[in-house]
Structure 1
Amino acid sequence: MKIGFFGDSFTKGVGDPTGKSWVGRLCEAAGVQHENFGVQGDTSEGVMNRWQAEAEGQGFDRLVFMVGSNDALLNEHRRVTINEINRLKNAKAIMMAARAVAPTLFVSALPVVDDAPASGRIGDMARQMGMIARINRVSYVDICADVAASNVWREEAMANDGAHPGEGGYQYLADLIANHPVWQDFLKA
């Protein structure tokens, strides 16, 4: 089995000295091949515009997306980078196109430790994306609240850049997903 992962810096694994991110750890534990298309600073709009070209010809059996954290940050004009309606439209567009290609899983966006207002928006979006995923019959793993409550994640992110953890935080994230029944069912689909 080969899985394509698409998302932002959390998917890429920024801050992880091993370069594995949660993606590499998760796939190593599951014994599956993967390609990581995480791009630092990317938004749901960016992922929506690039994932199909990156996935083309790769022969992926499954697709996994994690988008939204950068959408909720404030831009240079002190406005949310991508407003709530457009974030959810982008997520739905990705879901609809991706599920036509291969079984698809969305993982909730992750909180930004040193930005409480953005983390609040991300938490709201995680709940809303869960509803959109259910309506559109796309598998969804919501771990936003678990990550927000994690001491390892918080401590490592604050020791780094305020957002990205180190090796322990990414291992925590991989373990959360690996033990989630939706992920386990997704591998069997």
Structure 2
Amino acid sequence: MRYLLATTVLWPLLLYQGIQVRRNIVRLPEARGRRRGELGQGRPLRILVLGDSAAAGVGVDQQQRALSGQLMAQLQDQYQLQWRLIARSGLTTAKMLRYMSKRRAEPFDVVVTSLGVNDVTRGVSRRRWLQQQQTLVALLRDKYQCKQVIVSAMPPLGQFPALPQPLRWTLGQHALSLDSSLKHWLAQQSDCNRIEFSQALRSEVMAADGFHPGAPVYQHWADLVAACIRSRWLIQE
């Protein structure tokens, strides 16, 4: 109730701040480098990293320093990896869902998702967000034969240095609302895991735009995902 009241009262200011942020924020490119490959030794494991600008590595220069590159580096000594990255800046859950629905089927053991920030900034409702996420998970299970879906929790937009107050607070509250609805549903899915950032998003660990992860955040993120994968896909001696 407090969030809805504040949004209604502050709407003109929030709209102005949103326009100013979009106009003035530093535009960073997606990380360069490979988006698919095979490497490693051990038990075969097929991994897909799926998502928005954070999954695409915006904030670092090379994919090796982004989520997918750091994750594969951590797992290559234990698993024979076939991996792919499908990510693009600006993607919402709805856009990713449409793309994956039309794409040729390809089996993956593990899918790591990074979606939500663009849904928040576009004002997607809590109900629609949950429905879209549920549909995406069902698609990954049925069409892509995924056995483990690792959902990255919504990043704390309320900590993003690039966002002025009160825009930062209102977007942060909306992000928390969407994330809590998905968290409750994921807890009931035996093949799904949710990972949540525990690292404070201070300016020194963020990218130059104050909105995307820097290398330390990508490292922390990869650590969490790798631990989640290892806990489910135990190495067979």
TM range (shorter): 0.7 to 0.9
* Residues 12-60 of structure 1, C-alpha deviations (whole Å, 9 max, x = no match): 1101122232122112211233111111010110111112444x35442
Q: Which one-letter code corresponds to 2:184 in the other structure?
A: M
Partner residue of 1:116 out of 169, 183, 196: 169
Q: Which has the higher helix share?
A: 1
Structure 1: runs of 5+ lacking an equivalent? none
Partner residue of 1:16 out of 60, 82, 97: 60
The answer to whether the aligner puts 1:39 opposite 2:88 as a matched pair is yes
TM-score, normalised with respect to structure 1:
0.80
Distance between the aligned counterparts of 1:71 and 1:137, measured in 2? 25
Secondary structure, in 3 states, of the residue corresponding to 1:35? strand
- Find the counterpart in structure 1 of residue 215 from structure 2: 167
- Find the counterpart in structure 2 of residue 107 from structure 1: 152
The answer to whether the aligner puts 1:71 opposite 2:115 as a matched pair is no
How far did 1:118 drift? Answer: 1.9
The answer to whether the aligner puts 1:96 opposite 2:144 as a matched pair is no
Structure 2: runs of 5+ lacking an equivalent? 1-44
Distance between the aligned counterparts of 1:88 and 1:61, measured in 2? 23
TM-score, normalised with respect to structure 2:
0.65
Q: Percent identity?
A: 20
Relative to structure 1, the CA distance from residue 3 to residue 98 in structure 2 (aligned partners, 3 Å threshold; closer, same or farther) is same
Structural RMSD (CA) = 2.3
The answer on whether the counterparts of 2:67 and 2:222 sit within 8 Å (CA) in structure 1 is yes
The answer on whether the counterparts of 2:186 and 2:194 sit within 8 Å (CA) in structure 1 is no
The answer to whether the aligner puts 1:130 opposite 2:175 as a matched pair is no
Relative to structure 1, the CA distance from residue 188 to residue 46 in structure 2 (aligned partners, 3 Å threshold; closer, same or farther) is farther
Distance between the aligned counterparts of 1:187 and 1:120, measured in 2? 35
Q: How many equivalent pairs are there?
A: 175
Relative to structure 1, the CA distance from residue 184 to residue 130 in structure 2 (aligned partners, 3 Å threshold; closer, same or farther) is farther
The answer on whether the counterparts of 1:26 and 1:177 sit within 8 Å (CA) in structure 2 is yes
Secondary structure, in 3 states, of the residue corresponding to 1:10? coil
Distance between the aligned counterparts of 2:191 and 2:52, measured in 1? 20
